[in-house]
Structure 1
Amino acid sequence: LLYGPPGVGKTLLAKAVANEGSANFISIKGPEVLSKWVGESEKAVREIFKKAKQVAPTIIFLDEIDSIAPRRGSSGDSGVTERIVNQLLTSMDGIEVLQGVVVVGASNRPDILDSALLRAGRFDKMIYIPPPDADGRLKILNVHTKNMPLDAKVDLQRLANISEGYVGADLENLVREAGMMAYRKDQNASKVSQEDFMDAMKVIKPSVDEDVLKFYNNVSSSMGKSMRDRRKDVEVSGL
């Protein structure tokens, strides 16, 4: 289970894993599974796993999984998500017979996921994807400015240093906005300047602040403790 703030690259990471492993990649956003018709959502889940088995090796990527698998009894949606959670559990428990199929989930709110999904054999490995540090931000800026004509005075390192809290999606938007700034100032502008980037930062704000970081630090601590406790219970029971 990959978790972290929106825009940090959870989907890109899952795609990279599939690419490195030469596996097929089936990506499903949680809300896409939901249906107003009774039984259709569960059927959609079964079909996903069926297709994955047919084209194995496959990575099933369940994005925004918290939207379809919240803690049972908490959603108040007439039992739709409960049935989806039950179907997910059934499908994942059968993963051993689905040779060559790996399930990767992504969530911005792992704290509201049904705890049964986090047990051994399901999403028992949780990886926090944090916002990029200064080095990471510089690499992202380099990628998105690769084909952009930059003024010689543009200092991407400085931009990386002062853009704390910006995730990959923010930085992509920042580069795009800087280009638009240059065009708005002069439709004949041939290059994007440092000033354009600074002006763009007044428009494109960081997604992650201290409160968001504190939230994910608390989530990581509490969920890590919870998973350690569950492993101890399994060891004590002899299972």
Structure 2
Amino acid sequence: MFLENLFTVENAAALVTLTAMELVLGIDNIVFIAIVTGRLPRERQETARRLGLFAAMFLRIALLLTLTFMMRLTSPLFHLLSHPMSGRDLILLLGGLFLIGKATHEIHNKLEGPTTPQEKRVKAHADFRSVVLQILVLDLVFSLDSIITAVGMARHITIMIAAIVLAVGAMMLFAGMVSAFIDKHPTLKMLALSFLLLIGVMLVAEGFGKHIDRGYIYFAMGFSVFVEALNLKMQKKAQIG
């Protein structure tokens, strides 16, 4: 009887919708993973991506299994600058500030480069555990809204878990290709860091209750990538000619 109730048109539609939502909201996560794993030795990058996403998948599922706690995240805890801060707002605010700091630091390194021998060693051999932990934490921040939305969209916890597993599987599949493409083109890496800076500002704004439609962010990202693709094509033609 349970299985009959599970395999329905309504649940199938919910699964497709939730998986698509997780994938779309995972775009910024993939960009972050490409940047943060780029500082690891090449032979360890794939392991870090898979391990970070695999651990993040179980964290998402664990949060789903604590539905009461998840819904409580939207309740106000205290006021900050006249805005009632909930657990969700606090997580978004801290995640946004971390992302702004991380993107600014990486942009500085790209423009100025490491100046001391110690900084050069750190750049060449980033800490593996630190990279995995960053993927785990930022995945939680990026997926927080989608998890809360999933609680309201699907009636069965099994559907929500299946959507997360499918989405993370797709991210594991594409993260490596995105990382390789960004590493191959330095200008795209700077563009990706600018995206992370923009997303960080958006998270801080949402932490203070100022909702920004992600469609605008993704449109700007898509348009910028399109223009950069045209530039790369023109450069390639100029080299051939």
Q: TM-score range by the shorter chain?
A: under 0.3
Q: Which has the higher strand share?
A: 1
Structure with the greater alpha carbon radius of gyration: 1
Q: Which has the higher helix share?
A: 2
Larger relative contact order (Cα-Cα within 8 Å, sequence gap ≥ 6): 2
